[in-house]
A and B are shown apart, each in its own frame.
Chain A
Amino acid sequence: MIDLTDVHAGYGRIEVLRGVSLSVPRGTVTALLGPNGAGKSTLVKVLSGQLRATSGHVHLGGVHVNDAAPDELARAGLCTVPEGRAIFPNLTVAENLRLMRGDPDVVYERFPKLRVRHKQLAGSMSGGEQQMLAFSRALITDPAVLVIDELSMGLAPVIVAELYEVVAELASSGVTMLIVEQFAETASAVADQVVVMKHGEISEDSDLATVYFGGTS
């Protein structure tokens, strides 16, 4: 479903991705792990159309999408939840949900806290609630492909567990997923395939301990 072939990308003269090839089969979940600065978020940007690959090929569902704009990909069924609190802070919770095009009740049932706060400006909620709202998009848009960047960043373990419960449900319902995480355990638990990135390349070394604590080979 997601196929990257020898993708290079970067910012100006700095090359971040140096020939990444990665394949996520339809209906499976891949966890992409790696230390800070490995190029994980850059990979998400290339995939979602925010950053153009300088060379190589990006295919989604067999279609070549190197030149597609982010909004085109989104309308075609790619749902990206970028890192950080990916919400519109000056819109209310209900307005945020309306933008996602879907039934808000699905979300309210899953995250009752959001129903209580539906008239509040999204930016005034706690970090955990904001992340729930951001992640709601994966719930109500019924995406063909879901890409999640650092879902657990800066959140309390209880909330991470609550969110990953939903991730697991979505995975079992057959959504193709790429989950980017710095913390290995949470993500690997739901994944069919674990891929490790290091220095802008997919590392052949699948031993996580080496990736995080080992020397720079």
Chain B
Amino acid sequence: MTALLAYTIFGLVTGGAYAVVAGGLVLTYSTSKVFNVGHGAIGMVMAFLYWELAENRGLPQWLALLIVVGGCAPLFGLVIERFVMRRLAGAPVGITLVAGVGVLVGLIGAAQVIWPPQARPVRPFLDQLGVHIGQSFVSGHDLVTLACAVLVAGGLYVLLNRTRTGLAMRACVDAPELASLYGTRPHRLSALSWAIGSALAALGGILLTPVVQLDYVTMTLLVITAYTAALVGRLRSLPLTFVGALGLGLVQSYAVAYLPSSPFWISFRAAIPALLLFVVLLAMPQSPLRIGGVRGSRGVAVPTGLTAGVGAGLFLGVVVALALLVDSVVAGQLALALVFGIVLLSMVLLTGYGGVVSLGQFTFVGVGAVTVARLGSTSPLTLLAGAAVAAAIGALIALTALRVSGLYLALATLGFAQLMDKLVLQSPIAFGVRGSLQVPKLVESATAQLLLAAGVFALVGMGVLAVRRGRLGRKMIAVKDSSAACATLGMNVRWIRVGVFALSAAIAGLAGGLFAQLRETVAASDFQLFNNLPLLLFAVIAGVTSVSGAALGGLLLMLLPVLQSGFPAFAGAAVVLLGVAAAGLARDPNGLVSWFFRAWSWRRA
């Protein structure tokens, strides 16, 4: 009984901190219709800043808290709103998500440069204080956390329902143009909501540091927990969001208390937010077929079969010439770039053509790699087996998440990636107890590897273009533009989506197999959850709507770690720049490649 009470209190306290973070998320989403994937990252950076002031510089805790939550965080929210989010008003979900991912990756890069990895203990608030409830002890920090949660809940409720400003904020979401005809100042309102939102992210982050430790990625991924809570309230209702957050805290706390402590169950605990995410998603009502909403996001021209064939021929010619010229190290790196390029081709199909944003595409690469590694054969057929397993899992996730679309679907893929990460890829099931596996190479020399990767890239690229030109491609574009119109035409929207998802997962799995045999040793650390985010970023920056964009993106993805090992400080800056670039480029979904092409056609004109 005493233990139950203690775990309940612990759960409520953690849930209270989640509630603060989730409340900020709901506020920014419900007032600007931009789901900020970088919300957790803002909390992370602000918690580091708090450590810097309170622990490193020795400021009093209250002063540091005031400076961070009352000054730096709102200011940062204003900057993000002014320079990133304002330009995205009314943009499709995919684009706003990528901007958020850009912010996230940029912040992680910045944090790693400013605060290099080391242990950073943070003192809890009011550590001399505390009360005994029965036999369990509630610390001062716990009390502060609970008080903050209650204050934030009440404050947000009053703001949105009882004040004119809050009412105007909600009006701006409903009909921004009309709201400005009513005399409200839309920019000022959205700036305010971003300022409050990031202040809450900061507060939640700081309150959680004694629980989750100061870490770049763990705190950033708190957004999944906060998102699950927000989803309970359908991203709109604050009271339900708070209930969701407290429930989540309790479930996690009871899981620590009452689940067995074998390795599987320990990883299971970490996967609880993602699991609950799926439960909530399954309980969501079917999202209505979207009517209208077609935005003028023009894709790049689709090459004809002949052009694609000639292009593939030219591409192979260039690669053969390179293979003859460069040494084996460079050849290996180029092969890796092309393997990444194949992963990005899977996103061209899914995101570029299908309009479905996946935040979990790298997970399929991991699945393909594990399959090939486990089979351990030198037959090229193992690659196909990897693709098949990935396709099956892709179809499964698509079926599970079929009820939802757009933003919900994108975040479901992130939840899925976390689930796979905790339960499969990072557990002994995938890579064994040592966490790494040996893979026999399909072809020996680096030059042969390069040619193999180039051949597969050319084939898959032509295949993706053929799909786009064909019947399925037309249907995909139609579903993306207006699913409602498709349904009235008698098309089965669901199976098209499941098919596209599976096909895209298969391509990623194929790339995973190639990756595994190219590397010879693959480890759990190669397929961490976080890798999914730069993948989407590079895909969009390079151009997610074209095959040439995939090739460019692959090259950039390969170059990043090379830079990182050569010039660590520069690489950190590069990641920040990338985040900024993504946020800026997000307006043009066709990416850098289309920019090159446009520059070229301008010269010809």
Contact = CB atoms under 8 A, between A and B. Distances in A.
B181 A82 contact: yes
B174 A90 contact: yes
B56 interface: no
Contact of A91 (B164, B171, B183, B184): B171
Interface in B193-243: none
A113 interface: no
B170 A91 contact: yes
B174 A91 contact: yes
Contacts of A88: 170-171, 174-175, 178-179
Interface in B162-189: 164, 167-168, 170-171, 173-175, 177-186
Interface in B254-287: none
A70 B183 CA distance: 7
A74 B170 contact: no
A3 interface: no
Contacts, number: 58
A4 B359 CA distance: 52
Interface stretch (A94-102, A103-111, A183-191): A94-102
Interface of B: 164, 167-168, 170-171, 173-175, 177-186
Contacts of B173: 90
A208 interface: no
Which applies to chain B's interface (DSSP): helix, strand, loop or mixed? helix
Nearest to B236: A90
Given A88-B174, A90-B174, A91-B171, 20 more contacts: A48-B181, A70-B180, A71-B180, A71-B182, A71-B185, A74-B180, A74-B183, A82-B177, A82-B178, A82-B181, A86-B178, A87-B175, A87-B178, A88-B175, A88-B179, A89-B174, A98-B167, A99-B164, A99-B168, A137-B182
A99 B174 contact: no
A69 B171 contact: no
A91 B185 CA distance: 18
Interface in A46-79: 48, 50, 69-71, 74-75
B167 A75 contact: no
Given A90-B170, A91-B167, A99-B168, A74 B182 contact: yes
A184 B49 CA distance: 66
A131 interface: no
B164 A98 contact: yes
Among A70, A82, A86: residue with most chain B CB under 10 A: A70
A118 B184 CA distance: 22
A176 interface: no
B171 A99 contact: yes
A42 interface: no
A182 interface: no
Nearest 3 pairs between A and B by C-beta? Answer: A74-B183, A88-B174, A70-B180
Given A80-B181, A98-B164, A71 B171 contact: no
A151 to B, nearest CB: 15
B298 to A, nearest CB: 14
A191 to B, nearest CB: 23
A213 to B, nearest CB: 32
Contacts of B174: 88-91
B182 A100 contact: yes
A71 B186 contact: yes
Nearest to A101: B183
B250 to A, nearest CB: 31
Interface string A109-123: 000000000000000
Nearest to A75: B183
A74 B175 contact: no
Nearest to A98: B167
A69 B178 CA distance: 13
A140 B446 CA distance: 78
Contacts of B182: 71, 74, 99-100, 137
Among A71, A86, A91, A137: residue with most chain B CB under 10 A: A71
Nearest to B185: A71
A102 to B, nearest CB: 11
Contact of A69 (B167, B168, B170, B180): B180
Contacts of A98: 164, 167
Contacts of B179: 88, 99
5 contacts: A71-B185, A74-B181, A82-B177, A89-B175, A90-B173
